[in-house]
Structures are given as structure tokens and as C-alpha cells.
Structure 1
Amino acid sequence: MNFKRRAVAAAAVLAVAGAGVVTVQATAEATQPERRPRPAACPDLTVSKGWYGTNRARLQRMIDTYGHCGPRHDKGGAKPVATFDWDNTVIKNDIGDATMFWLLRHGKIRTPRHGDWRTTSRYLTAPAARALTAACPATGTTLPTHRNTACADEILSVYAEGTTTAGRTAFDGFDHRRMEPQYAWLAQLTRGWTTRQVERFAAAARTQNLAAPVGTEQRVGTGKVTGWVRYYDQQRDLIRTLKKAGFDVYIVSASPEPVAEVWSRSVGIDARHTLGIRNVSDHGRLTAHLQGCGTVEDGDDSMITYIDGKRCWINQEIFGVRGAAAEKVQPAARRQVFAAGDSDTDVSFLRDATGLRLALNRNKSELMCRAYENGDGRWLVNPMFIEPKGRQAAPYPCASTGYTERDGGQGPVRRSDGSVIPDQKDTVFGASTASPAPQD
């Protein structure tokens, strides 16, 4: 795979979320966007259903301001950039999960090198390796997980729960602000296949999950898991409008990059504009090692597109920042204007946005603490567009345990100046009223 990306010298990133049908149960945002004459040539957002309060109007004003027809457009300079998280931001549900489930149901996971499961992840614990060895005897080049339910159950438990089926911790020793070994493990378990083959597997999973009715469950091993995915109509509309207005639009996903590329094509995003977990290749085949970013070397396997790792990959691959600087917050002129996500995994690149930041409310503590506190007035909060979360009864524990430390411990969520954000009430939520139709 050709991973060369164009480096962009100047700023602007816009990100957003979703589609589906939502009935909002909270009061509308009080602050109205400033009224001023709107350039006639600016492209319009066309999907209005599902947006909360004045969110759609503020997004439109952003497009009018930074798009090719706006007063902030850099005539003859670099395009403004828009970045989107993928899972539960552009779609409902998770393409990494969909792919892993498909691999297990079709027996497409390769037997580990020398039968040693520790070669699949540097963070896999000894108890997890022993459990996987016992459940998945090495009898060929691929594991028969479509028949061997014990093996499928063990792999699924390690991947989805981070524990063995006996409840033992599966991964340890990692930096919780730049690595999620469970997410990385999916990419690492594609070792031995070519990028093209992984894309075919992802395409098959995509076809299955888009065709399945909302709420479908599928059997993997002896258990049942989610079996459907939907694109958000609002997200398709936003991406179309941004591109029409002259933005460079990027996807930044914590799923394997070949998988994300398959899914992003249908919203008009090509491979060059899709960032995800990247394997190191050897003679055209993927290995269990991962490409690095910033100060992390290829094969060190200690940083992926996750929390602070997303910041690094955006800085490196979109803005051309190299080395240790890629891991740091850049000057405003080299940062995104707008970013969107749904989880704590997105919080660093959302904070970096200099214009607006859209948070889809999935009840994730650090993200919602920062979004509701809204110290600079640049955060937008929106319910999920399909099956949105209801109101969280207890306030988010911002002042005590809302932040995940590098060692995995919990602490208070702090502003840039070090002060602590107080607990925040959940005020933007909704309830689903209809199910979207299958998609292609």
C-alpha cells in the first residue's frame, strides 16, 4: 500500500457526525449564531433532521466562513482540512468489530508464528497467551474458528473484553493515552494476508452488515454479537458539502487502515485521505508489527490512531510535522479548524481544533466533560443520530475520575491551564423513533 500523503502547510480541520432519526428531549441551545450576509455561492447542508439546537446553523456558518466562498478562505493557499473519527461518528456501530466477527465466522485468522501468541502483540499477557494456545491448537495455516467455537470464544473475549474467557487480564504494560491493544490486535491478526485480501474481507463484512436489519445479531463462537451497521445521512451530507466548499476531508480511525478505506469510499473519501492503524509489510504481506508516528519507530508497536496517537498521525500525515513535534499541540496556523468524534479516543484531536468541535454524546466521560464545560464556546454537542443515548442520570465525574491517565489510572479532567473541570450534567440527549432501512 502506498501510504504517502500530501503534507499541508496551513490550517483548518472540520469534523462532524451523523444520521438516522432522533427526537431530542433537551432544550435547544440558547446562543444563536451571529447573523451576517451569507455569500450566495456557498454550498448548503441539505439534511436538517437530527441536528440539535443551532448545531446545523453553526456548521453552515463554518462552511460559509472557511469554504472557497468565505472571508477566511486562503486564496491560492492550502485547502482547509476536515477530519472525522469514523466508528459511531460517521456510522452507527463499529467496522473493526464487524471485520473481526467476519474473520472469526469465516476462519480467516492466521495461526501465530511458531504457534506463539505472544508474537501477535507485545502487550499480550502470559495467561492470555496460554488460554489462546489451549483453545486454538495450531493445526494449519489458518485457525478453524468457524468450526472451533472454543477458539472463536477465546479470541473474541480477548479482543472485545480485554480478558480471557476465564476473566484473566489479556493486555498490560501500555500507554493508555496512545495505545489500545485490543484495537491494535485486530490489525495484528491480519498478518500473513495482503492488503488487497484484507480489503476483500472488509468489503464482505460491509455488505453483510449494511444489508442486515437494524438490531440484527450474529453468532460468533457460542455467543451473539452485533450484526448491523448504518451510515449517518447527516454525515454523508456534511462531507459532501465540505468537499464542495473546497475542504480536504480526512477520516482518522482506530480501525485497520485497509478496513477504514473500504468503508470511507462510500462517503467520497479516498485512500489518501483515510488514516488508520497501519501494519508493517514484508514482501507484500502484512506483519503483526505496526508503523509508528513521531518518536515511535516502525515495529515498536506502541502508538496507534488513539487519543494522543490521533493527534500525532494528523500532525504527521496531514500537516507534515515530523519527529517529536508531531506528538505536540501545534501552533494555531497548523491545526484543524473543526473536528468531530464520539469518544474519549477522539478527545486530543478535538481539543486541537481552532474553530468548532462536535461531540456526539455516547456518554464518554472525558469527552463530555470537555464538551459541556465548553470554556471557549467552540464545542457543539449532539445526540447520536441512530439509537442515541438517553440522559445519564449522574453528572459526569469530571473533578474526580473522568480522565484516563497514561498508566490506566483515573484522575480529574483538567483545562489547559491545569485547573480542574467541575462535574457536568448531561443535558443533550435523545430517543430513537424509527429504524433506518438497509444500505448499500
Structure 2
Amino acid sequence: MFVNIKRRAAAATAVLAVAAAGLVTVQATAQATQPARPGAAHCPALTVSKGWYGENKARIQKMIDTYGKCGERHGGGGAKPVATFDWDNTVIKNDVGDATMFWLLRNSKIRTPKNADWHTTSRYLTDPAAKALAKACPATSATLPTRRDTDCADEIASVYGEGATTGGDEAFAGFDHRRMEPQYAWLAQLTRGWSTRQVKGFAAEARKENLAAPIGTEQRVGTGEFTGWVRYYDQQRDLIRTLKKAGFDVYVVSASPEPVAEVWAKSVGVDARHTIGIRNVAAQGKLTAHLKGCGTVRDGDDSMITYIDGKRCWINQEVYGVRGAAAEQVRPADERQVFAAGDSDTDISFLRDATALRLVLNRNKNELMCRAYDNGDGRWLVNPMFIEPKGKLAKPYPCASTGYTERNGDEGPVRRADGSVVPDQKDTVHGA
């Protein structure tokens, strides 16, 4: 950012001033882009530069150097610093939950609901949706023939993808919009009757297909066309590798089913123990349509998944061992992740909990971008998506009016921790 000087002093004074200012600028830039790195030759460094916006890579590297094994903030033999990543559209481009759902439909791998009652697949499914599904998907076999029955495939795809029936009726109602996204949960619930191992096998087949498909591929599901490709981001693979080498404990926290996320996360070096997703309750070796709970939510209550405040709860519970109501609350700074990365409103709470840096990939999500651009504490980093980044949003984000989603689904202003309203924000970090 340059300052326009309206009045010029004597030539010599101006030259000196410019030289001095230039020196300060060079020094500041050097400090920002070339942070002091004690023992740099032996300290893990990011190697992929393409795709990073502005000083984002340099600031992340400085954070790694500060909190990692070479840094002054490293805990030595104590607890490792924690880094948490959303998965879909954060570590990869596109959505592995979608990829798995479409594979299940194309391969007739969804079980007929218990007693042919679609209400058993989700406590939030509306009567019109249950009736539409029952009509489109008659219970004639143990698994639904969605590979050839396009009516059934279309109805399930619509309820899952649009949250509405093909006839336009609302499919889900009555849930807490800060804890639950029933469309995401429904995928996990529709894996009922299969074992975890079998679901991982389905996810592996979907992964193989989507990685092999050229960028831009669409696939036919029922009578519709849907995204048919996925790619890992080289930048995020490099970042996770570097964080782990520097001594960070790296976790994936996804709103996809946990067995599915585990299959994908393995290839970036994140094992099953460090992968948190939607968890089904199991019975006799098979997954049920009920979900594991967190905090005060009991198993089988099915009212909280790894979504917005639910992600905070699951991180507190699974990473830090916090149980009960305390898991749903913001923990002290030394009991929170140092770094977090996400791309959507579903990631807001765990991103806000990160104490050093919060990386946001810009997908034009209102509340997330309002908070990231407001950047009250200077710890938010906004980056365009690394593959097919979105262009500039034409209008400012509606932060002061409708950017926030209330628990009942109503829209309202985005507020800071002190209660003040975040003003509308312009979209400044985007693709060409």
C-alpha cells in the first residue's frame, strides 16, 4: 500500500526520505517473507510455492518455525502443538462424501430402510420426503436397485444434494443448524447394514475412479449429471508433511463419514487415529443408522455431527480428552489447536479456536469470509482455492445483515466476540 505525498520537500530531503522508506520497506518485506529460522538447514520447510497468495506461505512457515521442533514455542518433551484441517475442498478439491454417495447409487449399495420406513434413516426427515422416497424406491430387495432404477436414484440424490424432494418439498426439518447438517449425516446413515471395512472398500473404489477421471469430468447418476473428479492439493499435502516433520500433531476433522475420510486422509500421511468424521453406532459388526454423540449428546441421539460447533466438540473430546458439557465450550488457549484450515461455514468454530493462524480457502461462504476478512486479531489468512479458484464476488458479503445462520436456521448479522456487528466485507482475495 502506497501513501500519496501531496507536498514535496526539497529534493535532497525527498531523496533521503524515499531511501529511508525504501530501506524500511525492504527490511519489513524481508522479515515477512524470510523469517529468521534458527538452524534452518535442519528445520522442515514448505517446498511448494505455487498457489499461495501474498505472504501466506511465509507466515505459515514462520508459525511452523516458532511452534515446531526448531522453535522457541516448542514444548520440548511435552504435548505436541496441534494442527487441524477440514477435508473436503480444504485438503482436496471437491467432496469425498459426494463421490462416495454417487458411487453407492451407481452401484446399488444402499440398503432398503428398516421396515421400509424412510423415517428410520434420519430423525429429521420430513413426512413429504419419506413418502417421496417410499414411492420412488419400493422395497423389493435388500438393497435398492439404484443402478438401473433412475427414479429411486434421482429421489435419493435430490434429498441428499438439494435437501428437497424432486417435487420441491423440504426434506429435513427441526435440527440445530449450528450442530447438524442432516444431508451430510444422511450419507453416513445410509451406510447402515454394512461393516466399516465394507464402507472403506466402497470409498476406495470411489476414490480410484475420481482421481483417475480428468478434471472437469461429470458422471451420470440416475438421470442427472454430477461432479465426477477429485484432486489432492499439492500445497496442502506439502503443508501437512512439513507440519508433521516439525513435530505437530495433525488431525483431519471432516463432516464426511469417518470411514470415508480415513481412506482419503491416509494418502497425506494422516492415519485413522488422527481422522475424525461422522461416526455411526455399530451393532453386531454392522453400522446402524444412528450416530455417535459428543459432549452432552448421547450416542443414538443423532443431533450433533462434526459440523460448526460440533467440530469444536469433537476436537475437544477426541484430541484433548475433554468430556461432557466442557467439550462444547471454547477451551483455554493452551488447550486448543495452534493452526487450523478450512473452506466453509461448517469450519467456523474450530477455525476461531486456533491460537496462531487460521487458513481459509475462499469459496464465497458468507460467515466464514466475513470473519476472515474482518480479521480482528490479524491471524486469519485468506487464499484462493488452489484448483479452479472462484473469481471476485460481485457484491460485498452481507455480514451486517444476513451473514450468520442462527440455530433455528434464521439469518442475522455476524457478530464479534464482544457483540459488535461485523460490517459488510469486500471480496479481495480471489482467482483471476
Bin of the TM-score, shorter chain as denominator length? over 0.9
TM-score (ref. length: structure 2): 0.92
User: Match of 1:343?
Assistant: 344
The answer to whether the 8 Å contact 1:109/1:142 transfers is yes
For the pair 1:305 / 2:306, whether they are aligned, the reply is: yes
Q: Distance in 1 between matches of 2:30 and 2:61?
A: 17
Question: Per residue, is there more helix in 1 or in 2?
Answer: 2
Give the counterpart letter for 1:195 in structure 2.
T
User: Does the 8 Å CA contact 2:35/2:58 hold for their aligned counterparts?
Assistant: no
1:229 to 2:195 alignment: no
1:385-420, Cα deviation, whole Å (9 max, x unpaired): 000000001000000000000000000000001100
Displacement after TM superposition at 1:151 (Å): 0.2
Is the 2:99–2:228 contact (alpha carbons within 8 Å) kept by the matching residues of 1? yes
2:114 match: 113
Q: Report matched runs for 1:26-425 at 5 Å.
A: 32=32, 35-40=35-40, 41-425=42-426
- The residue matched to 1:61 in structure 2 has which SS? helix
- The CA distance in 1 between the partners of 2:370 and 2:154, in whole Å, is 36
Q: Give how far 1:33 is off.
A: 6.0
In structure 2, distance between residues paired with 1:142 and 1:334 = 45
Letter in 2 for 1:214: I
1:428 is the counterpart of 2:414: no
Q: d(CA) in 1 for partners of 2:431 and 2:392?
A: 8
Residue 32 of structure 1 and its aligned partner are, at CA, apart by 3.4
Separation in structure 2 between the aligned mates of residue 127 and residue 35 of structure 1, nearest angstrom: 59
- Supply the distance in 2 between the matched residues of 1:324 and 1:34 (Cα, whole angstroms): 43
Any stretches of 5+ residues in structure 1 without a counterpart? 1-28, 432-440
Q: Is the 8 A contact 1:117 1:132 kept in 2?
A: yes
**Per-residue deviation, 1:101:** 0.1
* Residues 63, 242 of structure 1: 8 Å contact kept: yes
For residues 100 and 350 of structure 1, what CA distance do their matches in structure 2 show? Answer: 27
> How far has the Cα of 1:38 moved from its partner?
3.4
Structure-2 residue corresponding to 1:26: none
3-state DSSP of counterpart to 1:32 = helix
Cα distance in 2 for residues equivalent to 1:314 and 1:31 = 33
Superposition deviation, residue 226 in structure 1: 0.4
d(CA) in 2 for partners of 1:159, 1:37: 48
- CA-based RMSD: 1.2
Are the counterparts in 1 of residues 43 and 246 from structure 2 also a CA contact under 8 Å? yes
**Following TM superposition, by how much is the alpha carbon of 1:69 offset from its aligned partner in structure 2, in angstroms?**
1.0
Higher relative contact order (CA 8 A, sep 6+): 1
The one-letter code matched in structure 2 to 1:32 is: A
Q: What is the alpha-carbon distance in structure 1 between the residues aligned to residue 228 and residue 234 of structure 2?
A: 20
**Runs ≥4 residues deviating over 6 A:** none
Check conservation: 2:37, 2:65, Cα contact below 8 A: no
Aligned to 1:6: none
Deviations along 1:99-129, one digit per CA (max 9) or x if unpaired, are 0000000000000000000000000000000
Q: Deviations over 1:40-89 (max 9, x none)?
A: 22111000000000000000001100111110000110111111000000
Contact 1:39 1:70 in 2 (8 A): no
Question: Hey, what's the Cα distance between the residues in 2 that align with 1:341 and 1:294?
Answer: 22
Q: Do the aligned partners of 1:42 and 1:63 also contact (CA within 8 Å) in 2?
A: no
Letter in 2 for 1:102: W
**Cα distance in 2 for residues equivalent to 1:39 and 1:355:** 22
Instruction: Report the count of equivalent residues.
Output: 403
Paired with 2:177 and 2:232, the residues of 1 have a C-alpha distance of 29
Letter of the 1:137 counterpart: P
TM-score normalised by L of structure 1? 0.90
How far residue 30 of structure 1 moved from its aligned partner, in angstroms, is 12
CA deviation vs aligned residue, 1:148-176 (integer Å, no higher than 9, x gap): 00000000000000000000000000000
Report the CA distance shift for 1:121/1:283 in structure 2 as closer, same or farther (over 3 A): same
Q: Where does residue 10 of structure 1 map in the other structure? A: none
Question: What SS does the corresponding residue of 2:32 show, helix, strand or coil?
Answer: coil
Task: Note closer, same or farther for the CA distance 1:35–1:63 as it changes in structure 2 (3 Å cut).
Answer: closer
CA distance in 2, matches of 1:198, 1:384: 29
Gaps of 5+ in 2: 1-28
Cα distance in 2 for partners of 1:359, 1:44 equals 21
Report the Cα distance in structure 2 between the residues aligned to 1:194 and 1:225, rounded to whole angstroms.
Answer: 27
Question: Which residue identity is paired with 2:38?
Answer: R
TM-fit CA distance, 1:34: 8.4
Q: Shift of residue 39 of structure 1?
A: 3.0
- SS where residue 430 of structure 1 aligns? coil
